[in-house]
Structures are given as structure tokens and as C-alpha cells.
Chains A and B, each alone.
Chain A
Amino acid sequence: MVPPRGLAISLAAFVVAVLGAVFFRDTAAEYSFLMWLLAMMPAFALCHYRGWSRIKLVLGVSMVFITVGYVVTQLAGWRVSDWPAFVFVLAAYIGLALGWGWLAEVRNATTERQVAEEELQRTHQDLRESHANLKLAQWKLLEAEKLETVGQLAAGVAHEVKNPLMTLLTGVRYMQQQSQPNNPELETLLDDMRDARRDHSYREPRRGWCTGHYSV
């Protein structure tokens, strides 16, 4: 970032150079060389701060040429009558160069903002998708919880049925153990009672209800 004070100085110097070239045509003829440098040096500093290296290079080369040109014309004793016009063209050139730099900067900023906006849009979309997925997962979890409750209920019912069955089965076996062999009807009856359990008079809960087979 260029400091605002540097920017103000640069612009003021630029305006002074242009005004000098326009309003003091005759006197400026002798000293316009100084005005050029005065106009170009802050611009050079501005380009340096902003990092506009190509414009900075052009300005630097121009300053060197102007200085060398002035020295050569002085040593040779030449008088160049078109200095003011020359200065005016140069000032316009510097203005264009600076404007170009700013334009590029603004364009960069715009592009960056567009990229950031696209990124924001993508993030927003991702978040919406995540939210939808979470909603779905939550719903599935609720469903799984309901099923698990049903499974636990079934397991509890089975548990309550199995304990009495165990008693009955053991009782039947005890009676068989103790019964006299001369009573075939009782033997048949006890065999039937023992085998009644194997007729699957109760059903096991379906596998997977309470064992986490319901995937989320």
C-alpha cells in the first residue's frame, strides 16, 4: 500500500509541473528540465510503493534520458524552443501511465472479489448439502432408535417367556426321571410336554433388530 501522504505529494507535484508548463511558457523554457524531474520523481516513488515495476522502469529510463539530454544540450549550447510543449506531452504520458497502473489494480481487485464470491457460493452450497445430509442422518437415527426400542421390547418379552419355559421343561424332565416305568400314558404325556417346546410355540425376535444392522 502506498501511504496517502506520498500519493498527495505525487499528485501535487504533477499538477505543479503541468501548471508551470502551461502558464509560464517563456520562463519555463530555461527550467522545464527541473519541472520534468519534479513531475516524474514522485510518480517514480508512487510506482515503487505500488509495485508497478514496468511503469517504474519506463519512468526511470525517461529520467535518465532527460538528464543526459539536458546536459548534452547545455554543453553544446543548443536552445530547444519546444520545451513547454514537450513537458506537457510528458506530463500527459505520466498521467496515462499512472492511470493504467490504477486500472490494472482495480481490475485485479475486481477479479479477486469475483473469485472470493465464487468461493463463498461454493462454500454456501457445500454447507447446504452438509445440512441436508445431517438432517437425513438425524432422521435415520431416530428411525433406528425406534426400531431398537421395538427390538428391546421383543427381547424383553422373549426373556419373560423363556424363564417359565425353562422351569416347565426341567419339571417335565424331573417327572420323567422319577416316574415309574409301568405307566406308559404318563410317559407319552411327559414326552409330548417335553417336545412341545420344540414346536416353536414362541418365535425368536428377527435377527438384526437390536444388533445394529440397521445402517445409518
Chain B
Amino acid sequence: MHKKRILLVDDEATITRTLKLYLEGTGNYEVLAENQGSRALATARKFRPDVILLDLVMPDTDGSEVAEQLRDDEILCTTPVVFLTALVRPGEVADADGAIGGYQFIAKPLDPERIVACVERLTR
């Protein structure tokens, strides 16, 4: 069975670095980190991920803009996108059943175990 591919897009290098270590440490995933929102689309086209974890607040290109670019892409439009953001509260995400405006949301900080569970659910 091939490893699932996860693309991490977050301007915080410490987050992508630790999350990449953890997710790859499970032995089930191949993870690529991208720290610039403006390069996310090109990276995703090359990497062809199964899931994209996307930060919302980034200095160059906003996460919502990246999501729009991905949605307009012929191949990547079917790839599940999960917003990884500190803007919403865990309670708000739970109230909305994990999805706001059609997108999956994960409120930082969240136990990476639950991120794994979310990825598994989306790639089943």
C-alpha cells in the first residue's frame, strides 16, 4: 500500500517542521511542507497530494485565496482541503460539525492525533 501524500501549507516553519516529523513518524504518510502561500498551487501540482492542510492567515497569499486557486484547478479541485487555523476556536469548529462554508476546519492548537484521524476520514 502506498503512503498517503499530505501537503502542509503554513507560513510558520516550526509548525510544518514538527507536523511533518510527527506525520511521517507514523509511517503512513509522505509529507511535503510549503511555507509560502503563493507557491502552494505550483507545489501541489507537482506533488499531487491526497490531502492539503492549509493555514488561513499567511503574509503573501491568504489561505482562502489558495483554496480558490485549488478549486479552480482541473486536477486539484477534487483534493480535500483542510484549513488549519488559529482564527477559529475549537468550540466553533465543533458547533459547525468540522466544516465551515463547505471546508473542513481544524482549530490550532490541536492534538496531531486528531489531525491524523481527520486525514484518515477524508482519504478513506
A-side residues, CB < 8 A to B, are 155, 158-159, 162-171, 173-174, 177-178, 194, 197, 204
Contact = CB atoms under 8 A, between A and B. Distances in A.
Contacts of A165: 108-109
Nearest to A155: B87
Contacts of B91: 204
Interface stretch (B14-22, B37-45, B63-71): B14-22
A177 B86 contact: no
Given A159-B57, A159-B86, A166 B22 contact: no
Contact of B18 (A162, A174, A194): A174
Interface stretch (B28-36, B73-81, B97-105, B110-118): B110-118
B12 interface: yes
A166 B110 contact: yes
Interface in B52-70: 57
A170 B86 contact: no
**Which one of A158, A168, A169 has the greatest number of beta carbons of chain B within 10 Å?**
A169
Contact of B22 (A162, A168, A170, A204): A170
A163 B26 contact: no
B89 interface: yes
Interface residues of B, number: 20
Given A171-B18, A204-B89, A166 B108 contact: yes
A197 B109 CA distance: 9
Given A169-B109, A173-B112, A163 B25 contact: no
Contact of B87 (A159, A174, A194): A159
A170 B25 contact: no
Contacts of B21: 170, 174
A163 B86 contact: yes
A164 B86 CA distance: 10
A165 B57 CA distance: 16
Nearest to B115: A170
A178 B25 contact: yes
B100 to A, nearest CB: 14
Given A162-B108, A163-B108, A166-B108, A173 B22 contact: yes
Contacts of A178: 25
A120 B21 CA distance: 78
